[in-house]
């Protein structure tokens, strides 16, 4: 322990006469003790998975918000399948992201949080299905087409300039089309039979098509502590926007909410069970466009921050 002299910067100076030393006990209370180190809560690590044509740079604002509200949180924005590489088949991306998140989970016995944006929300949901020992506390699905996409967007016009949504099934429901990530969750409500037979990704993780891993995947998915669904009517990309909440079109293009969807009624991958145990949080918010979900501070404080324990 340092002496009073060294604490006050007096080392090397000549000490005062003995008479003055007698006054030190009365002077000491004026020397403020060192403040105890503030207690810092230990927050679970956060893993962020980007969307179509994105990169880790897109999440710099989200990273700042987390650091401000939950200082000390270890946040990993996975820098995989950036830009055009995000068009790679989703099962390939699931494997790559899975290899990246496994060691992070292994070092976090208390669990981790997943924040997964747009297409990344489907990658993360598949990860929750195929990882036997995942320890995800909160899975935050940030404007993700969880029940699929059926809309003409700039992305589709760039990728398939001669096709509109009404005939895109001819491409997407072919073996060649399924090599593009967008087609892995293209969901044409007017060609449901083709979707069920051709979809190599969404129909499988939804449990809409029989496969030998269905029971195990459902069990794995139900390991999640909480499912937070975020989206809104002004998104401009996710079509219908209710897909972010597991709603989708019927054959008449009327939106059926999650509780009306066959996958929910059959509880094919665990949605009904999660809702019954109070583990689904829905956070709709108007006025936010698709590319602003991860940079809007109001959205972060209302829909993301409360679940980053």
Catalytic residue (one of 50, 134, 191, 290): 290
Report which DSSP code applies to 33: P
Phi and psi based region of residue 247 (left: phi greater than 0; alpha: psi -120 to 50; beta: remaining): beta
| Catalytic residue selected from 138, 235, 243, 294 | 235
Is 118 one of the catalytic residues?
Answer: yes
Smallest Cα–Cα separation from 291: which of 148, 118, 149? 118
Where do runs of H (alpha helix) occur along 131-282? Answer: 154-159, 169-172, 181-184, 192-198, 202-205, 214-221, 262-265, 271-276
In 3D, which of 132, 133, 93 has the Cα closest to residue 116?
93
Question: Are the CB atoms for 175 and 154 separated by under 8 Å?
Answer: no
Helices (H), 225-270: 262-265
Determine the Cα–Cα distance for residues 160 and 172; give it in Å rounded to an integer: 10
Distance of CA 45 to the CA centre of its chain: 12
Annotated catalytic residue 295: no
CB-based contacts of 20, cutoff 8 Å, min separation 6: none
As a whole number of angstroms, the distance between CA 18 and CA 23 comes to 9
User: Which residue in the list 118, 141, 144, 268 is annotated as catalytic?
Assistant: 118
> In which element (H, E) is residue 27 found?
helix 24-27
Phi, psi of 21 (to 5 degrees): -60, -30
> Which residues belong to the active site?
118, 235, 290
């Amino acid at each position: 322990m340092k002496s009073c002299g060294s604490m006050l910067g007096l080392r090397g100076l000549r000490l005062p006469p003995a008479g003055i030393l007698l006054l030190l006990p009365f002077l000491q209370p004026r020397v403020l003790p060192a403040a105890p180190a503030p207690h810092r809560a230990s927050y679970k690590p956060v893993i962020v998975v980007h969307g179509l044509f994105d990169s880790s740079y897109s999440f710099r604002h989200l990273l700042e918000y987390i650091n401000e509200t939950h200082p000390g949180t270890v946040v990993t924005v996975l820098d995989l399948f950036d830009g055009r590489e995000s068009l790679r088949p989703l099962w390939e991306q699931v494997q790559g992201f899975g290899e990246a998140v496994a060691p992070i989970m292994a070092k976090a016995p208390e669990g981790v949080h997943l924040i997964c944006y747009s297409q990344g929300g489907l990658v993360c949901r598949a990860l929750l299905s195929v990882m036997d020992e995942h320890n995800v506390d909160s899975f935050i699905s940030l404007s993700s087409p969880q029940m699929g996409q059926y809309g003409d967007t700039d992305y589709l016009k760039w990728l398939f300039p001669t096709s509109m949504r009404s005939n895109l099934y001819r491409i997407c429901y072919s073996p060649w089309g399924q090599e593009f990530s967008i087609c892995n969750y293209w969901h044409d409500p007017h060609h449901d039979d083709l979707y069920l037979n051709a979809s190599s990704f969404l129909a499988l993780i939804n449990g809409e098509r029989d496969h030998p891993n269905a029971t195990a995947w459902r069990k794995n998915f139900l390991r999640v502590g909480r499912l937070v669904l975020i989206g809104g009517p002004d998104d401009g990309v996710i079509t219908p926007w209710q897909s972010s909440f597991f709603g989708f079109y019927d054959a008449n293009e009327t939106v059926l909410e999650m509780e009306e969807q066959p996958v929910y009624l059959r509880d094919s991958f665990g949605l009904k069970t999660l809702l019954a145990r109070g583990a689904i949080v829905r956070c709709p918010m108007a006025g936010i466009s698709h590319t602003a979900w991860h940079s809007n501070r109001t959205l972060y404080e209302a829909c993301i921050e409360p679940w980053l324990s």
